[in-house]
Homo-oligomer: A and B are copies of this chain.
Amino acid sequence: MIPPELLMASQPREIVLQSNVFSVEKMTIELRGGGSAVRHIVRHPGAVCVLGLLDDGRLVTIRNFRVATGQWMNEFCAGKLELGEDPLRAAARELEEETGYRAASIDSLGTFYTSPGFTDELMHAFVARGLAPCPVRLELDERIEVIARTVDAFEDMVGTGEVCDAKTIATYFRWRLLEEASRRVRM
C-alpha cells in the first residue's frame, strides 16, 4: 500500500485565505477505495507556552481576554512565533511582555499540536525558573491580568474547568511528569 504521506504529497495545494496570524490551505486527499475529497487546513507559524515558576513554588498564570472565545480565560503566558524566531527566545520575550518576569533559566517541556484535526499549529512548551520582576509590555490588543497561584489551587481550577485552555493543561502536565520523575530519583 502506498503510504498516505506520499499520496498527499502529489495532491495540488492552494492558499485560499491569508490572515495576519494564519493561512488556510485547500488540499485534495485520496480516499480509501478511490475517489478524493477536499480538505481545508489552517497553517499556523507555531507558538510558545510558558509555565513561570516562582521561587516560592507558585505558578505565574494570566487572566486573558480572548476575542475568539469571547471570554476571560486562565492560562499560562503564550504567544505565536514571529517569523523565523527561535522558540526559546520567543518564550523569554512573551514571559517578559505579558507577565513582567525575566527568567534566569528556561527549559523545554517539548512540543505538542493544539488541534491536529484541522491545523498544524505546534506549541513549544517551556518552564521558566529564577523569575525576577521586569516591566510589562502588552500589545495594544492584549488585556491581561497576572495572578500567581499555588499548584494545589491551579489543579483545583483544572478540575473545576476554571482552567479550560488545552495548552495550559498540557504544558502543566508535562512539567508535573518531570517533577514526579525527579522526586523519584531523589528518593
Interface residues of A (CB under 8 A from B): 4-5, 8, 16-17, 19-22, 24, 27, 29, 31-33, 35, 37-42, 44, 47, 65-71, 73, 75, 78-80, 110-123, 140-141, 143, 155, 158-161, 164-167, 169-170, 172-174, 177-178, 181
Q: B155 and A177: CB pair below 8 A? A: yes
Q: Min CB distance, A73 to chain B, in Å? A: 6
Cα–Cα distance between A111 and B123 once the two chains are bound (Å): 20
Is there an interface contact between A5 and B70, defined as CB atoms closer than 8 Å? yes
Q: Which of B24, B35, B67, B155 contacts A41 (CB 8 A)?
A: B67
Inside 8 A of A161's CB, which chain B residues have their CB? 110-112
CB closest residue in chain B, given A112: B164
The answer to whether B78 touches A31, judged by C-beta atoms less than 8 angstroms apart, is: no
Cβ B17 vs Cβ A17 within 8 A: yes
Given the complex, which residues of B lie within 8 Å of A116, measured CB to CB? 66, 68-69, 73, 75, 165
With A167-B166, A174-B159 as known contacts, state yes or no: A141 contacts B42, CB within 8 Å: no
Compute how far the CA of A181 lies from the CA of B78 in the bound complex, rounded to whole angstroms: 29
| Contact, CB under 8 Å: B21 / A24 | no
| CB-nearest residue of chain B to A156 | B177
**26 residue pairs A–B, Cβ–Cβ below 8 Å:** A4-B143, A5-B65, A21-B40, A22-B42, A32-B141, A39-B141, A42-B118, A42-B119, A66-B117, A68-B119, A68-B120, A70-B120, A73-B113, A110-B160, A110-B161, A112-B161, A113-B164, A113-B165, A113-B166, A115-B115, A115-B119, A115-B121, A116-B165, A159-B177, A159-B181, A166-B167
